[in-house]
């Protein structure tokens, strides 16, 4: 699935095939007022985990963890025990891709200081590491294995920094051959297991995309989704038999569904629908199971389809929360997945199809934190200025009451087109734990709420979506436990832009702003996008504006050119190696706002990019954020209670 362009690193209905919807039980009542507040060090001591790959003997599982303070690759026995670190990087985040199917080698990726120029590496059992994609200023991506496990596929933009070519690597010698030279700006979505087909996505806009099929043997390229108007088509996965391509589309509908294209005949048929957007669908290696994820009102619902038996799987009920990131072993005897809730971070589990037993392998929560002191997030909605309904995720501190009104933050996600979702969010829990009401707004243009809502912000940035944030302040002000005189705005990436825009274009609306690597000058940002985003350039310009043709419009919506209006305290956090929102974006807005005599704090992280991947930097960033809010928002004092 081709995601919408983003500056920021992210109702089960009847289906046409049998499914199992893995849903959570009803939320438990909120716990009592917390007895303890926790430091950011304690919140960040919670371990972040991701990925899952079974060892060839299916006795261990490979995953990524920041247990050491930075992401590295680890393995863990399925019987439990202590995780073993396979990589030891102390400077650059390392993410596991998977075991080799027949031996103990692993593949992993690593960039340099957050610059997003990931290389693909192999690690042998003796601990030696080899860069399979050496060179300067290139980005590589692992694409999967051949059917007989003799080779694997890799994307790299080394030939042309704008586009990714497809290479086939020999699993023994690492010798490679070029499979497809990408001169047309395609986004490569999948390679069939038999190696005969490539599926490409071609975006025109964020909501008008096409699929092309490439026959490796005949070198024929075929456009399989001709259509009129704006329709979303995105390849998701070939079936294991290499007879069909499964894809997502919203043709004739508000929401994305799963359809299938038969490679031999060109026949197209719908496969699966939901009352929300389908996020992806994929198969187990042998084709016995198909897994579909649905974006259901800000949470993930997983459906597992038993293709062989033609009936739902009878899995046991799990604690409250969501199942995500399902991986089924090659033998189809086991399934790995992550499970998380509002008050519990993602933990790795394994399910045995034979014994029906679920084993939890990790305990990611910081040992210092009692989950009862945290809060459950609530989905809430309000009507915006024009009547459009805006969904949000609300965090209410236990100590906030009508007689002890709390300060509040409108938290704006990244994107454009991102989404604030339910599930464990340590930074938002940290704020709530320290007495701040947090409203994670999904302003118009956010994903997950249908096509019309998704496109409602196009070329309206700094205007209608920003007005949603002002309406969010009004909604917060209406809550009996919120101090209407102490409401700030914060966000990262596009959310950082929205923060700056709110302070510049509506200078009296919010008391403070926290800008985390946000855009201040759209002209510069759109002209300096990473080279590997070239295939998205047209869609990006249609979403935000063309700097060559719409210079004045982009100046009008860029906070930097209106910085003289900013009169409220501002905190800016920035990674020095950020390739998406480069450091001058923050340097210049800070310089401009300081001229207004406004309190401005600025923190640059020399070893980070677009987002914080190192625990020490997370601690520094979010402790500075809380200190800033305590000083300039909370210290303003509560409003008198009548």
Q: What is the pLDDT of residues 509-533, one digit of tens each?
A: 999 999 999 999 999 999 988 888 8
Taking residues 161-169, report their average pLDDT.
97
Taking residues 81-101, report their average pLDDT.
95
Averaged pLDDT of the chain: 92
What's the order of all strands across the beta sheet hosting 406-412? 378-383, 389-395, 437-441, 406-412, 482-492, 513-516, 570-575, 600-605
Give SS3 for 531: helix
Checking if the pLDDT of 15 tops 60, the result is no
Domains 21-360 and 375-521+561-636 share a fold: no
Q: What is the per-residue pLDDT for 311?
A: 75
Q: What is the per-residue pLDDT for 639?
A: 53
Is the pTM here over 0.85, yes or no?
A: yes
Q: Which residues of 4-27 are buried (b: 16+ CB within 10 A; e: fewer)?
A: bbbbbeeebeebebebbbbebeee
Q: What is the pLDDT of residues 468-520, one digit of tens each?
A: 999 999 999 999 999 999 999 999 999 999 999 999 999 999 999 999 999 99
Q: What is the per-residue pLDDT for 48?
A: 96
Picking from 198, 25, 44, the residue whose alpha carbon sits closest to that of residue 625 is 44
Min mean pLDDT across 12-21, 51-60, 230-239, 307-316 is at 12-21
CATH number of 21-360: 2.130.10.120
Checking if the pLDDT of 441 tops 80, the result is yes
Taking residues 533-560, report their average pLDDT.
93
CATH number of 375-521+561-636: 3.40.50.1820
Taking residues 21-28, report their average pLDDT.
39
Taking residues 363-387, report their average pLDDT.
97
248, containing H or E segment: strand 244-249
Q: What is the per-residue pLDDT for 272?
A: 95
Min mean pLDDT across 6-10, 291-295, 354-358, 499-503 is at 6-10
Please give the radius of gyration of the chain, using alpha carbons only, rounded to the nearest integer: 24
Q: What is the per-residue pLDDT for 28?
A: 39
Cα 527 to chain centroid, rounded: 24
Residue 168 Rama label (left phi>0; alpha psi -120 to 50; beta)? beta
CA angle 425, 444, 426 (to 5 degrees): 5
Q: Where are the domains of the chain?
A: 21-360, 375-521+561-636
**126: Cβ–Cβ under 8 A, 6 or more apart, which residues?**
none
* Burial (0-12, 13-18, 19+ Cβ within 10 Å), 387: exposed
Taking residues 245-255, report their average pLDDT.
97
């Amino acid at each position: 699935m081709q995601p919408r362009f983003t500056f920021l690193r992210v109702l089960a209905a009847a289906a046409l095939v049998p499914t199992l919807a893995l849903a959570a039980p009803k939320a438990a009542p909120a716990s009592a007022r917390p007895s303890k507040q926790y430091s950011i060090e304690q919140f960040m001591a919670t371990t972040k985990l991701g990925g899952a790959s079974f060892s060839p003997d299916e006795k261990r599982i490979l995953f990524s963890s920041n247990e050491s303070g930075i992401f590295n690759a680890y393995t863990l026995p399925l019987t439990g025990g202590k995780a073993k670190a396979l990589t030891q990087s102390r400077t650059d985040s390392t993410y596991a891709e998977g075991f080799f199917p027949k031996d103990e080698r692993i593949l992993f990726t690593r960039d340099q200081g957050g610059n997003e120029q990931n290389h693909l590496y192999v690690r042998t059992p003796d601990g030696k590491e080899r860069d399979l994609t050496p060179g300067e200023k290139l980005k590589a991506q692992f694409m999967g294995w051949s059917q007989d496990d003799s080779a694997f596929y890799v994307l790299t933009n080394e030939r042309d920094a704008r586009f990714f070519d497809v290479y086939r690597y020999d699993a023994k010698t690492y010798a490679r051959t070029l499979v497809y030279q990408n001169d047309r700006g395609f986004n490569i979505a999948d390679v069939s297991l038999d190696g005969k087909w490539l599926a490409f996505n071609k975006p025109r806009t964020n909501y008008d995309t096409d699929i092309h099929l490439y026959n490796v043997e005949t070198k024929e390229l075929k456009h399989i989704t001709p259509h009129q108007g704006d329709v979303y088509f995105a390849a998701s996965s070939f079936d294991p038999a290499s007879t069909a391509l499964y894809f997502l589309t919203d043709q004739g509908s508000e929401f994305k569904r799963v359809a299938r294209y038969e490679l031999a005949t060109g026949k197209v048929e719908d496969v699966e629908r939901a009352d929300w957007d389908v996020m992806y669908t994929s198969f187990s290696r042998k084709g016995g199971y198909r897994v579909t994820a649905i974006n259901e009102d800000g949470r993930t619902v997983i459906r597992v389809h038993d293709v062989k038996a033609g009936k739902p799987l009878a899995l046991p009920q799990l604690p409250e929360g969501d199942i995500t990131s399902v991986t089924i072993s090659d033998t189809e005897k086991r399934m790995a997945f992550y499970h998380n809730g509002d008050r519990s971070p993602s933990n790795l589990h394994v399910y045995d199809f034979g014994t029906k037993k679920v084993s939890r392998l990790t305990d990611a929560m910081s040992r210092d934190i009692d989950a009862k002191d945290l809060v459950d997030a609530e989905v809430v909605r309000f009507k915006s200025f024009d009547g459009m309904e805006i969904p949000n995720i609300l965090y209410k501190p236990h100590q906030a009451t009508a007689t002890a009104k709390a300060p509040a933050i409108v938290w704006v996600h990244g994107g454009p087109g991102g989404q604030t979702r339910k599930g464990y969010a340590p930074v938002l829990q940290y704020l709530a734990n320290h007495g701040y009401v947090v409203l994670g707004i999904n302003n118009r243009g956010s994903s997950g709420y249908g096509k019309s809502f998704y496109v409602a912000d196009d070329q309206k940035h700094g205007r209608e979506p920003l007005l949603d944030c002002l309406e969010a302040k009004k909604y917060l002000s209406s809550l009996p436990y919120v101090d209407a005189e102490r409401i700030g705005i914060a966000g990262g990436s596009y959310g950082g832009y929205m923060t700056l825009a709110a302070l510049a274009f509506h200078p009296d609306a919010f008391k403070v702003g926290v800008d985390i690597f946000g855009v201040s000058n759209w002209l510069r940002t759109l002209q300096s996008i990473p080279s590997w985003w070239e295939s998205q350039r047209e869609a990006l310009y249609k979403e935000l504006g063309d700097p060559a043709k719409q210079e004045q419009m982009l100046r009008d919506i860029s906070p930097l050119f209106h910085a003289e209006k900013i009169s409220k305290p501002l905190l800016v956090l920035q990674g020095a190696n950020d390739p998406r929102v480069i450091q001058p974006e923050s340097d210049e807005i800070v310089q401009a706002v300081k001229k207004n005599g406004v309190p401005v704090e600025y923190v640059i992280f020399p070893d980070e990019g677009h987002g914080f991947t190192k625990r020490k930097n997370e601690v520094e960033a979010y402790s500075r954020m809380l200190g800033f809010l305590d000083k300039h928002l909370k210290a303003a004092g509560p409003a008198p209670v009548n």
